[in-house]
A and B are shown apart, each in its own frame.
Chain A
Amino acid sequence: GNSVTQMEGPVTLSEEAFLTINCTYTATGYPSLFWYVQYPGEGLQLLLKATKADDKGSNKGFEATYRKETTSFHLEKGSVQVSDSAVYFCALTLTGANNLFFGTGTRLTVIP
């Protein structure tokens, strides 16, 4: 089947620390991969995406590389800020599919 497994949280980091949130997937076809972010009281926002192997998605200092050989799409940021505190979801969709498959989410808290 299709599924996404995320690193369990919560994750607490000091400001300017390096962030990695692990994500691996299983898919019956060739997926596109996404990271969504959910700030308190808000809906999901697309953070970045990658649609084929070896693509690197990037946005707001966050990066993730589509690794087909390890079926992974780990999220990284070199220096986190307090404003990055949120819940991060890894997700996939298949070409022609109607829906996204989400991981369980990882809560990140950045302390000053």
Chain B
Amino acid sequence: ETGVTQSPTHLIKTRGQQVTLRCSSQSGHNTVSWYQQALGQGPQFIFQYYREEENGRGNFPPRFSGLQFPNYSSELNVNALELDDSALYLCASREQGVSYGYTFGSGTRLTVV
């Protein structure tokens, strides 16, 4: 399977709720990263997973958490949603050690009301 697929494409949640976003990585890509892209801004690194373990994290609070599964899928979970969490969430996968080989998904647009 080629490409990175994210679901859902759009989502509306209420402040305080929890959300799970999903990503299906490109086959053979054992590293997955998640980014948050606020409107009019560049993507900000949330965290990275390699072989199902978190191995890097940006400046995001613990209520942002993730999982990576052996079948190249992964999840981003956000608890206690805040209005400022409204953004486009991007998943990117690559082979470990290939620093420029990221393949990005089209993202999930999350709106918190």
Report A's interface with B, CB cutoff 8 A.
4, 6, 32, 34, 36, 41-46, 49, 51, 89, 91, 93, 95, 97-105
Interface size class of B (residues with CB under 8 A): 20 to 34
A101: chain B residues within 8 A (beta carbon): 45
**Interface hit among B12-20, B36-44, B70-78:** B36-44
> Quick one: CB contact mask for B47-67 with A, threshold 8 Å, 1 for yes?
010000001101000000000
- 16 A-B residue pairs with Cβ-Cβ distance under 8 Å, sorted by A, are A4-B42, A6-B42, A32-B100, A34-B100, A36-B104, A43-B104, A44-B43, A44-B90, A44-B92, A46-B100, A89-B42, A98-B48, A99-B48, A101-B45, A102-B43, A104-B40
A-B contact count (CB 8 A): 57
**A102 to B92 Cα, complex, angstroms:** 14
Output the least CB separation between A86 and chain B (Å): 14
Do B43 and A41 touch (CB < 8 A)?
Answer: no
With a 10 A CB-CB cut-off, give which of B33, B41, B58, B99 has the most chain A CB atoms: B99
**A46 to B102 Cα, complex, angstroms:** 8
Closest A residue to B54 by beta carbon equals A98
A51: chain B residues within 8 A (beta carbon): 100
B-side interface mostly? loop
Do B99 and A93 touch (CB < 8 A)?
Answer: yes
Interchain residue pairs A-B with the least CB separation, the first 6:
A98-B56, A102-B42, A43-B104, A99-B45, A44-B104, A98-B48
A43: chain B residues within 8 A (beta carbon): 4, 90, 104-107
B55: chain A residues within 8 A (beta carbon): 98
Closest A residue to B43 by beta carbon equals A102
A-B contacts besides A32-B99, A36-B104, A89-B42, 4 pairs, CB < 8 Å: A34-B100, A41-B106, A44-B102, A89-B43
